[in-house]
Amino acid sequence: MVLGDSLAAGYGLNDGESFPARLQERLDQRELGFEIANVSVSGDTSAGGLRRLDWALDGDVRILLVELGGNDGLRGLPLTELRANLAAIIERGQARGATVVLAGMEAPPNFGPDYTAGFRRIYRELATQYRVRLVPFLLEGVAGNPALNIADGIHPNPSGARIVADNVWRVLEPLVKRPA
């Protein structure tokens, strides 16, 4: 399951072009038997993801990819709130037996270097604290590159979404491989 915001929902993309859709293609090509449930909502924050988590986790969720925080950073949400929300999501996912993967995000620099550094640090610290897999920066290789984003400069275009899928796949692949 992908619990995310517009980056995972595929804002500005056609059906099948989002990074979760690209991940599903890889799972299907390898006949790994996983189906991605993308419960991402454009504009969502970590608080919004936390509010809808319990119903989202109904069913057989084996892996929970948490892709939240970008909108928190754009709004300058206090770092303590971001940490608390993400920690609660991880705890609830683990309590339901899901393997949690946390996708790291970066905050824009307009709130100052302390905020930006603290924002980045939250993801690493939570991954260590809860022993979850971490995609260090979801948009690595895509952020800031006009050739890989739609006109808003924030959301990946189809080519950018493929790179984001690569970033996630490096962490996800060992979790979904069938034993030989």
CA of residue 108 relative to chain centroid, distance: 17
| 44, 60, 152, 159: the active-site residue | 152
| Residue 171 CA neighbour count, 13 Å, CB half | 22
159 given a catalytic annotation: no
Q: How open is the CA angle 115-121-126, to the nearest 5 degrees?
A: 130
| 5, 6, 44, 46: the active-site residue | 6
Q: What are phi and psi of 38, to 5 degrees?
A: -100, 105
CB-based contacts of 140, cutoff 8 Å, min separation 6: 163, 167
Location of structure tokens 């996983």: 34
- Rounded CA separation 19/9 (Å): 9
Strand order in the sheet with 2-4: 2-4, 63-67, 99-103, 133-135
Q: For residue 157, give the DSSP letter.
A: -
Residue 99, class by beta-carbon neighbours within 10 Å (0-12 exposed, 13-18 middle, 19+ buried)? middle
| 44, 60, 155, 159: the active-site residue | 155
5 given a catalytic annotation: no
60 given a catalytic annotation: no
What are the catalytic residues? Answer: 6, 152, 155
